[in-house]
Structure 1
Amino acid sequence: MSVRRLFPPLVAALVLLAGCAGGADPSGADSAPGSSAPGSSAAGAASPGPSSAASATGAVASTLAFTARTVNGAQFDGATLAGRPTVLWFWAPWCPTCAGQAKGVKATAEQLVGKVNVVGVGGLDDESAMKRFIGEWKLDGMTHLSDEAGVVWKKFGVTSQSTFVLLDSRGAVVHKGVLKGDDLPGRAGALT
């Protein structure tokens, strides 16, 4: 499936121009450590946290008001991430930067299991390519959304891969953009 079919032409152009390494969020939405990472649901990783971040009225932060499907075909509700810091990792199967980050993302998810949600959001390709990427990099111990249509990418304003969106336990975005090297474990851990 082509990028043009996944995203409006403007977003597709931005993705192609930004390249695999992407740039920092143009809005500058990067704040100090304390952002959160979504948990995973497979063996060795924590499942998304309880909805304790909901208000007394039961409302969930608008950032968590989305549904998607995992690469394994299960339904996923963003509200399940409430109450625990979350890392959303936006990746594409053909992205060499994403492949280079896979080991660190996996280690972060395993190290912070039960404390921080870590969720991959695959896009810019078809689901079979996403499954191959997950298998090749042994990422099957965490939740990965299949976002072929780019719905979750658009919700968070992501225009390039690899992008990390860190949310605090209330669902507020505390970082959006690139994280280099070993920055992810420290940034995600600081959210707890």
Structure 2
Amino acid sequence: MRARTVLPATLAAVLLTLTACGSGEGSTSGSAAGSSSSEASSPAQPPVASNGSGSGAEGERVPKALNFTATTVDGKPFDAKTLAGKPTVLWFWAPWCPTCKGQAAETAKVAADNLGRVNVVGVAGLDKNAAMRDFVSDTGTGSFPHLSDEKGEVWKRFEVTQQSHYVILDKDGKTVHEGVLPGGKGLADKVAGLTG
């Protein structure tokens, strides 16, 4: 029964994605129209333990939003629990998206300027891993990890329905911003508000 409802929703998300790229428009409030709940965008999430340990980086409690694993575009395992305790920028992008390419330089600059204080993670989707690796190489964004989300599992987790989308979490894993930031403009200010 769930499969029947997921397929139309997935198709709608893909169609929205294809029409949104390059438009420079976006939302700064919810990620999916009409969505009812999200692990990542609900108000405060209490820290939860996963698989018994309940700890992320430096013994931090792991918020529900960061309780997932993935694989990087380089084929390495990635455990989001390691992001716990610091603000985190999740940048959802697609390799063929000109808006995403336009955000690359500013996103890389924010990552470099906040090294050790803020996590920046790219979440690539809507294409194959080879294209994702090429994007990272071509845009010079290899200084921070990029997840290969070919199946869209992380995108679904955060209810992202279009590429060139940012989800910014505070140190407790609460979503404090989500939406498109054309050219990455404003990203540095949003991050500074979480670190300063």
Pairwise TM-score range, normalised by the shorter structure: 0.7 to 0.9
User: For residue 188 of structure 1, what is the aligned residue in structure 2?
Assistant: 191
User: For residue 110 of structure 1, what is the aligned residue in structure 2?
Assistant: 112
Picking from 80, 83, 86, the partner of 1:84 is 86
| Match status 1:50 vs 2:39 | no
Q: Percent of aligned positions with the same letter in both sequences?
A: 48
User: For residue 162 of structure 2, what is the aligned residue in structure 1?
Assistant: 160
Higher helix share: 2
1:22·1:162 contact (CA, 8 Å) conserved in 2? no
- Residues 92-128 of structure 1: CA distance to partner in whole angstroms, max 9, x if unpaired? 1011011111110111000000010000001110000
The alpha carbon displacement at 1:62 in A equals: 1.2
2:25·2:182 contact (CA, 8 Å) conserved in 1? no
The alpha carbon displacement at 1:23 in A equals: 1.9
The alpha carbon displacement at 1:180 in A equals: 3.4
Secondary structure, aligned partner of 1:106: helix
1:22·1:161 contact (CA, 8 Å) conserved in 2? no
User: For residue 66 of structure 1, what is the aligned residue in structure 2?
Assistant: 68
User: For residue 39 of structure 2, what is the aligned residue in structure 1?
Assistant: none
| Match status 1:128 vs 2:124 | no
The alpha carbon displacement at 1:26 in A equals: 5.7
2:124·2:150 contact (CA, 8 Å) conserved in 1? yes
2:30·2:178 contact (CA, 8 Å) conserved in 1? no
**Counterpart-to-counterpart distance in 2, 1:85 and 1:122:** 20
- Residues 166-189 of structure 1: CA distance to partner in whole angstroms, max 9, x if unpaired? 000011111111123430111112
Give the letter aligned to residue 117 of structure 1: N
User: For residue 140 of structure 1, what is the aligned residue in structure 2?
Assistant: 142
Secondary structure, aligned partner of 2:112: helix
Q: 1:151 to 1:170 in 2, by over 3 A?
A: same
**Counterpart-to-counterpart distance in 1, 2:91 and 2:25:** 13
Q: 1:51 to 1:65 in 2, by over 3 A?
A: farther
**Counterpart-to-counterpart distance in 2, 1:22 and 1:150:** 22
Larger Rg computed on CA atoms: 2
Please give the root-mean-square deviation of Cα atoms over the aligned residues, in Å. 2.1
Picking from 168, 177, 194, the partner of 1:175 is 177
Give the letter aligned to residue 76 of structure 2: A
Q: 1:91 to 1:100 in 2, by over 3 A?
A: same
1:85·1:191 contact (CA, 8 Å) conserved in 2? yes
Secondary structure, aligned partner of 1:9: helix
User: For residue 26 of structure 2, what is the aligned residue in structure 1?
Assistant: 23
The alpha carbon displacement at 1:16 in A equals: 2.1
Count of residues paired in the alignment: 163
The alpha carbon displacement at 1:12 in A equals: 1.2
- Residues 29-56 of structure 1: CA distance to partner in whole angstroms, max 9, x if unpaired? 9xxxxxxxxxxxxxxxxxxx825541xx
1:164·1:177 contact (CA, 8 Å) conserved in 2? yes
1:89·1:118 contact (CA, 8 Å) conserved in 2? yes
